[in-house]
Structure 1
Amino acid sequence: MARRVARPGQARGKQNTRFQKGGFTFETNAGFETTLMHSGPVKELVAAKTSELAAKMIKAAPLGPHQHTDEFAIKKNITPYVEQVGKEWVGYVVIEENERARHAMLQERGYRDPAGRRHKGRFFLKSVLEKERVD
């Protein structure tokens, strides 16, 4: 029976990528990343960053006419969530879970009133996301 010979540049099976410098060897297939991403400190870090982002969005949100009712105020309908998706912790910022309070996105993108006049968008959510962007 003939053995298959690998040609140069053709990978066979599981390949380890190694980095060695100064007596330290790093193997990418060691599996520590998965253990680290499932750990409690990573969940706490994701939760902290998500709530930080939500707090900045709440601060930037316009007051509007509904300042005292929880049901329709934009600032009171921005909520951070953290959940596990696959093997990672993911943070979400939900804008207005209440389906009756739909004016936050109208404030963000702009709208036309019943008389047909165009109202310019404020882009408060977009500006917060642009400030938090990592280049």
Structure 2
Amino acid sequence: MATPKRGKQHTRYGTADFTFETDMGFETKLLKSGEVRALVVAKTGEMAGDMIKAAPRGPHVTTDAYSIKKNIHPYVERVGDEWVGYVVVEENERARHAMLQERGYRDLAGRRHAGRFYLRAVLLSERVE
């Protein structure tokens, strides 16, 4: 009976010229690369742009600084060994309430205003099945 080998084990695929080492961690190297970061930046920016297009326009006559459209921003950061993209909605506390526009609300007179579900629609369009 042969004893199992100790140390680094190689798994061979294809010809004898190609050796795939399972302990190299190529996935980690790939996810840390600049190409993956550029892809995450592009997709996050694209999703934020779609959310800005779909967001309702504010009633602000003199300035639009507090509207929902001006308060949607994409951010990309490194989390562990990979790049993660975020779309932040309503970072400014003086902005219109984006989630009230999303889900609907009742005004002071008690009238119900239906939600527009613009953020949900963009997220569903970007979903991969």
TM-score where L is the length of structure 1: 0.79
Structure 1 equivalent of residue 4 of structure 2: none
- Whether the 8 Å CA contact 1:37–1:89 is kept in 2: the answer is yes
Among 46, 51, 73, the residue aligned to 1:52: 46
Residue 128 of structure 1 deviates from its aligned partner by: 0.4
What is the identity, as a one-letter code, of the residue corresponding to 1:72?
Answer: Y
Q: Residue 111 of structure 2 corresponds to which residue in structure 1?
A: 117
Distance 1:116 1:77 in 2: 28
Contact 1:63 1:73 in 2 (8 A): yes
**Shift in CA distance, 115/86, structure 1 to aligned 2, threshold 3 Å:** same
Structure 1 partner of 2:23: 29
Q: Distance in 1 between matches of 2:63 and 2:10?
A: 57
In structure 1, runs of 5+ residues without a counterpart are: 1-13
Which amino acid counterpart does residue 27 of structure 2 have in structure 1?
E
> Given the alignment, which residue of 63, 75, 91 partners 1:81?
75
Identity %: 68
Helix, strand or coil at the partner of 1:30: coil
1:71 touches 1:98 (CA, 8 Å); kept in 2? no
Q: Evaluate the alpha carbon distance shift between residue 15 and residue 78 of structure 1 in structure 2; reply closer, same or farther with a 3 A threshold.
A: farther
C-alpha deviation, 1:29, in angstroms: 3.0
- Which amino acid in structure 2 is aligned with residue 77 of structure 1? N
CA-CA distance at 1:28 after TM superposition: 4.1
Q: Which runs of 5+ in 2 are unaligned?
A: 1-6
The answer for the alignment partner of 2:101 in structure 1 is: 107
What is the RMSD computed on CA atoms of the aligned residues? 2.6
Q: Residue 55 of structure 1 aligns to which amino acid in structure 2? A: G
Helix, strand or coil at the partner of 1:79: strand
- Structure 2 CA distance for partners of 1:48 and 1:129, relative to 1, 3 Å: same
- 1:132 is aligned to 126
* 3-state SS of paired residue (1:63): coil
Count of aligned pairs between the two proteins: 124
